[in-house]
Structure 1
Amino acid sequence: MARTGPSDGTRRPADDGPAAGRRPEERSTAPGLRRASLGPLGVLAIAVSAISPTTSVFLVYGSALRSAGTGVVWAFVIGGVIALGMALCYAEAGSLFPSAGGAYTIVHRALGPVAGGVTSTLFLLLGLVSTASILVASATYVSSLVPGGLPVGWLALGMMALVTAVSVGRISPAGWVAGGMLVLELAVVLVFTAVAFGHAAHGVHPITHPVVVSHGAAGPVGAAGLLAAVVPALFAFNGYDWPLYFAEEAKGSRRTGPRAVVVAAVLAVVVEVLAVIAATGAVGDLGRATADPSPLAFVAHQVLGPAGADVLIAGVALAMFDTGLAANLGYARVYYAAARDGMLPGPLGRFFGRVSPRSRVPVRGFLFLLAGNGLLCVFSSLDDLITFTGVMIVIVYLLVAVSALVCRVRRRGARPPFRMPWWPLPPLVAVVGVVVALSRQDPRDLLTAFGLAAVAAAGYAAVRHRLPARARPREDDGAP
């Protein structure tokens, strides 16, 4: 039976959440997420699909290459170290607080309702931009395969509608769909990596002599450009925390989820760093590659030829669709958890705080994602979506890493279901790395993201007395 109260044994107040005002018997019979409907492999498949090594590399490589040149390799290595530290933070803290809220629940339980509210707000916004950025990129690649091209925005909108159609059914079939497409996309990125390693360009030494093109000439990579490329790299690795958002639907979630987080992060870092090393070594003409809208498509044409590049690009588009599906599945669950915990204002709480009685998934969250992402698919640019999304993700990382430190200090002597090794190195590496990376980002993106966080913090602080002190799943939601 699920625990319904905090570790001190107290129970949740009757007025917590959007269910406030209803009789206890009405609250206890409201449908929650379907218990134990995902096995360990299903959880891992969704996590790796959310990261999608193929999508990640092809989505952000161009932005990172233009910033750091061939130093993009070191940007991904640095980002990989930070990502592994973050994965251990997510795994340990997530094992303490298994909930569909994932990162939001961790921050809420560790740092309080105001910080938790900021995290839920950032996720509300992330859900509206990240899936759109992925599907716009997918549509861009599909359009490049058609003579004369296709309207990218409307194609991305059609993909978003298809993602929604798959998402609103039961979670188990959606997990199988994600897993099947994952196998194909891993084959795509591994084949590309192997072929690119076999076509290394002469005179390119990205590890020992990284260079960047500036004003038409190649020169050494500066620290500012290198660190600016770390945030896109972190965006590329993002998604390893996704097992936490299915904690209430997974079997043995206190261990299954955290282990899947670490396995997914390690797999993503290894596959993506190898792909970036291989691609950068095969670039050859850095100036032409940097100027190309899709540098990896440029490299693919060099090493695979036109026909091989078209097959690769089709695989990349499929991988990006899979990533959009996995992202959609997770964000809707965060909305549901935040509403259920009473962290969203009345109308939003009532809207998001329910699941479909038939499929037991948060259908209303998926409809909200369809509307918001659909508009961005048609009316926004890919570069703006990627940079802004990356900054918001890194702010969430900072909150989670601090939460992991606080949880371990407060629970000295306790042994969580998953205990990170090398304490306190992982959270310290994550915090320092995230702060340094943020310091090198576009001031406009920083002002926008931190401004939104500050507005959210002020709003939640103003109503702090009405917020639940703790975020937790309900008894009928199947948390362990």
Structure 2
Amino acid sequence: MTSSSAPAPALKPTLSVADVVAITVSSVTPASSVFVIAPFAIAQAGTGVIWAFMLGGVLALMFALCYAELGRAHSAAGGEYVFAKRVFGGMAGYATFLTALAMLVFIPPVLATGAATYLNAALGTQLDGQAVALVIVTLGYLLAILNIKLNAWVTGICLLLEVAALMVIVVLGFGHAQQPVSSLVSPLVLDNGMLHAAPWALVVGAIGTALFSFNGYGGAVLLAEDMKCGGRGIPKAVLWSLVLLVAIEVIPLVALLIGAPSLAELTSFTVLLILCVYLVVGLCALFSRVLRRDREHPYRMPLWPLPALVAVTGAGYLLTTLLAAASARDIFIIVGILLVSGLLYGTYGKLSPAFQKL
């Protein structure tokens, strides 16, 4: 047998659980969540944003448990659309794939657009927000093509820099407190220049924004094939990613509100996409053990099916609430994604050997 006929060596998994957590948390860019997304939630719910983020963290934990179990039972690089395909069939897989793809396309520019505001303030420049967002997104894609182990180190360093920046807010906020803690316990919102008690409807409405802020911890399941321990470390990676994200974002947010001298249109479409994907993940976690008895579930979430039920109920309630207030454009895009999913699955998906093997 000649050397040319020898089988090509398989890619060697090199990531530890810590590496996966570093990549996952860095990809969420928690500093962007605090500086870009949180202000919209504050404008919506006032100091009630803390309750929204705490409730959002509890709901995100339910989703994280769903990701942990599904990522272990259906270990594959595809993530959510693989879950949907294996549990509910090809059409569900295609619809989830296009929804997740749209979500991944829109989220980076939304976060990056806010960078120009802070760069202009720091440098005294007048950089265009869209141009800055394009540069940041391009650099992010270039970084993504690096060796996965090197990527973990680079993103880990970036995460440390983000945490350092947020620690400045923590020190300044708690060190120069100007607002009473009671403003966090009893939410206040600014209305026509006057502070009023924030209705809990506003707080609940801001939970979707909080989920947007935390979104990305489920991305750890995409790296299962690159882990040295195989998929065994996925549950730990998902849960630790969420815990770190909540801590890194909520603590500076509390400091920001406490230290603020005064309490003075996030893309709703992106939040709708996130909730659609979360709803699918929750449903998959609820029915995977029942419909796919042929697959082992090495990691089983505690108190199943309660976390999955809470996840589905929470995502369903927020999704229907936001859809009721959504613009015709947003609804049209969501319906369009579903129609395109059906068309692609009917013309290509059923004939694709790669998709059928998932």
TM over 0.5: yes
Alignment match of 2:182 (pick from 198, 205, 208): 205
C-alpha distance in 1, partners of 2:9/2:24? 25
Deviations 1:346-381 (A, max 9, x none): xxxxxxxxxxxxxxxxxxxxxxxxxxxxxxxxxxxx
Paired amino acid for 1:257? I
* Equivalent in the alignment of 1:141: 118
How far does residue 191 in structure 1 lie from its aligned partner after superposition? Answer: 3.5
Q: Deviations over 1:82-122 (max 9, x none)?
A: 11100000010010111110111111111111111011101
Q: Secondary structure at the match of 1:213?
A: strand
Amino acid aligned to 1:399: V
Q: 2:127 aligns with which of 150, 154, 158?
A: 150
Equivalent of residue 288 in structure 2, options 379, 398, 407: 407
Q: Any residues of structure 2 matched to 1:81-480 within 5 Å, and which?
A: 81-203=58-180, 205-287=182-264, 383=265, 386-410=267-291, 416-441=297-322, 442-444=325-327, 446-460=330-344, 462-463=346-347, 465-466=350-351
Note if contact 1:112-1:470 (Cα within 8 Å) is conserved in structure 2. Answer: no
CA contact (8 A) 1:392 1:449 kept: no
Distance 2:55 2:332 in 1: 25
Q: CA RMSD in A?
A: 2.6
Residue 225 (structure 1) shift: 1.5
CA distance in 2: counterparts of 1:103 and 1:281, whole angstroms? 38
Offset from partner CA, 1:293-341 (integer Å, 9 cap, x none): xxxxxxxxxxxxxxxxxxxxxxxxxxxxxxxxxxxxxxxxxxxxxxxxx
Give deviations 1:194-222, integer Å, cap 9, x for gaps: 43123222445233211112233222222
> C-alpha offsets along residues 270-315 of structure 1, whole Å, 9 cap, x if unaligned?
332222222222234113xxxxxxxxxxxxxxxxxxxxxxxxxxxx
Residue number among 51, 54, 63 corresponding to 2:40 in the alignment: 63
Is the Cα–Cα contact under 8 Å of residues 179 and 257 in structure 2 kept in the other structure? no
What per-residue deviation string (whole Å, max 9, x for no partner) do you get for residues 127-180 of structure 1? 221111222222332222122422232232222332233222322212211011
CA contact (8 A) 2:70 2:83 kept: yes
Q: Which structure has greater helix proportion? A: 2
Instruction: Tell which deviates more after alignment, 399-408 or 417-426.
Output: 417-426
Which residue in 1 is equivalent to 2:4? none
TM-score by length of 2: 0.88
User: 1: distance between equivalents of 2:247 and 2:294?
Assistant: 34
Distance 2:32 2:253 in 1: 12
Letter in 2 for 1:160: V
- Sequence identity percentage: 34
1:113/1:469 contact within 8 Å kept = no
> Structure 2 CA distance, aligned partners of 1:280 and 1:202?
7
Write the distance in 2 (CA, Å) between the matches of 1:467 and 1:459. Answer: 14
Are 2:31 and 2:166, in contact at CA under 8 Å, matched by a contact in 1?
yes
Quick one: which amino acid aligns to residue 110 of structure 2?
S
When residues 229 and 182 of structure 1 are mapped into structure 2, their CA distance, relative to the original with a 3 A threshold, is same
Match of residue 19, structure 2, among 34, 37, 42: 42
TM-score (norm. length: structure 1)? 0.67
How many Å separate the matches in 2 of 1:425 and 1:197?
A: 37
Per-residue CA deviations over 1:205-247 (Å, capped at 9, x if unaligned) read: 2332111122332222223321221111001111111111122
Q: Secondary structure at the match of 1:219?
A: strand
Cα distance change of structure 1 residues 55 and 219 upon mapping to structure 2, 3 Å threshold: same
Measure how far apart 1:423 and its partner are: 1.6
CA offset at residue 51 of structure 1?
2.5
Separation in structure 2 between the aligned mates of residue 273 and residue 95 of structure 1, nearest angstrom: 29
- Ranges in structure 1 where 5+ consecutive residues have no aligned partner: 1-28, 288-382, 474-480
Q: Secondary structure at the match of 2:184?
A: coil
Q: Which amino acid aligns with 2:98?
A: T
> In 2, are the aligned partners of 1:68 and 1:212 still within 8 Å (CA)?
yes
Structure 1 residues 412 and 124, CA gap change in structure 2 (3 angstroms): closer
Change in CA separation of 1:150 and 1:407 when aligned onto 2, cut-off 3 Å: same
Deviates more, 1:130-139 or 1:461-470: 461-470
Conservation of the 8 A alpha-carbon contact between 2:268 and 2:326: no
Q: State the one-letter code of the partner of 2:84.
A: V
Structure 1 residue ranges, 4+ long, deviating more than 3 angstroms after superposition = 29-32, 410-415, 460-473
Amino acid at match of 2:289: R
Counterpart of 1:207 in 2: which secondary structure?
A: helix
Which residue identity is paired with 1:438? L
Cα 1:443–1:406 shift into 2, 3 Å: same
Structure-2 change in CA distance of 1:211 and 1:217 (3 Å): same
* Other-structure match for 1:320: none
